[in-house]
Amino acid sequence: MSEIASLPSSMDIEHIRPLRNVAARPPWPGLPTHMTTLDDGDPHYVLPELGYALDALEPYCSAEALRIHHDHQHATYVSGANRALDRLTMARSSHDWSAINQLESDLAFNVSGHVLHSLFWTTIGPPKHERPIGDVARAIDAGFGNFESFREQFTQCGLALQGSGWVALAWEPLGGCLVIEQIHDHQSTISQGAELLMVCDLWEHAYFLEYRQSRLDWLDAFWHIVNWAAVDERLVRSNFYITRAGQPFVWPDYVRDSLR
Ligand code: FE
């Protein structure tokens, strides 16, 4: 049988499309469910609502700064991601692949910006817990010694990040541990397979209105508005995922052997 003959028929494709509707299944534990819609059968990214009032983060982040960041900056990545998808659709129709590298770069940049900002709005929230709670508190102690040591490393990673980007706490399933990552722009220097649990936006647009060029002042403010309950939920749901068979997660032998 040829490869073409083995492709699904158009009827099969219509049949599987509803399964791609992530409105019913969040793409990432703890992320807003309404990041994507299927208006006419094609995926379409949408700006999720904030889960709190614009002034809920004051005095650490003003209503005006939050409104501009969410309604304008985040919205720009959403429209950029949809534009990249539309241009890829046109490229397929016209068989014009002259801009494929730029389109792939635009798609990665804008989709990652959309995912990271959606994760950011659920990483932060009205001030409540000054310190980690639950399983994530225990995992931080196990991985970094204590919260103060973790906070120092996270802050220094953010301060030292060159240019624009993010600092993130992630669950690294190969080692079964928490790691801190620097993310340049929206998508580079990410460990493949690691699941982001919390992120801090270090693009200047995230803090210039209130903190000018002081990234340290923004990072100091960030610790007051971390939603530790949401971060803990993401870790627990991640652990459920990798241990749903009741066993600790381990990579298959052929993967582990290739990594030695
Ligand atoms: Fe941002």
252 CA → ligand 1 middle, Å: 37
168 CA → ligand 1 middle, Å: 14
81 CA → ligand 1 middle, Å: 15
Percent of the residues in the chain that have a pLDDT greater than 90, as a whole number? 58
Let me know: does 230 contact 122? Beta carbons within 8 Å.
yes
25-47 pLDDT tens trace: 444 555 665 666 655 556 788 99
pLDDT band for position 135 (50/70/90)? confident
Select from 181, 186, 158 the least CA-distant residue to 169. 181
166 CA → ligand 1 middle, Å: 9
User: Residue 99: its pLDDT value, please?
Assistant: 96
233 CA → ligand 1 middle, Å: 23
User: Residue 255: its pLDDT value, please?
Assistant: 45
220 CA → ligand 1 middle, Å: 17
Residues 111-129 have a mean pLDDT of 94
User: Residue 190: its pLDDT value, please?
Assistant: 79
Across all residues in the chain, what is the average pLDDT? 82
Domain 10-123: CATH superfamily, name plus number: Fe,Mn superoxide dismutase (SOD) domain (1.10.287.990)
Query: What CATH class is the domain 134-246?
Result: alpha beta
2 CA → ligand 1 middle, Å: 47
Task: Report the distance separating Cα 255 and Cα 13, nearest Å.
Answer: 32
39 CA → ligand 1 middle, Å: 26
Task: Report the distance separating Cα 30 and Cα 199, nearest Å.
Answer: 13
Q: Quick check: 7 pLDDT over 90? A: no
51-78 pLDDT tens trace: 899 999 999 999 999 999 999 999 999 9
User: Residue 258: its pLDDT value, please?
Assistant: 45
SS3 of 236, please? helix
User: Residue 122: its pLDDT value, please?
Assistant: 93
198-253 pLDDT tens trace: 999 999 999 999 999 899 999 999 999 999 999 988 887 775 455 444 444 444 45
117 CA → ligand 1 middle, Å: 6
Instruction: Select, from the ranges 112-121, 174-183, 185-194, the one with the highest average predicted confidence (pLDDT).
Output: 112-121
184 CA → ligand 1 middle, Å: 12
198 CA → ligand 1 middle, Å: 14
Residues 137-141 have a mean pLDDT of 89
201 CA → ligand 1 middle, Å: 6
111 CA → ligand 1 middle, Å: 13
89 CA → ligand 1 middle, Å: 27
Tell me the Cα Rg of the chain: 20
Lowest mean pLDDT among 99-103, 155-159, 195-199: 195-199
248 CA → ligand 1 middle, Å: 35
User: Residue 192: its pLDDT value, please?
Assistant: 80
108 CA → ligand 1 middle, Å: 16
User: Residue 236: its pLDDT value, please?
Assistant: 78
User: Residue 32: its pLDDT value, please?
Assistant: 60
199 CA → ligand 1 middle, Å: 11
136 CA → ligand 1 middle, Å: 25
- The CA-CA-CA angle for residues 245, 250, 254, to 5°, reads 125
Task: Report the distance separating Cα 162 and Cα 25, nearest Å.
Answer: 35
Q: Determine if the peptide bond prior to 59 is cis (ω within 30°).
A: yes
Q: What are the domain boundaries of the chain? A: 10-123, 134-246
Global pTM? 0.81
4 CA → ligand 1 middle, Å: 43
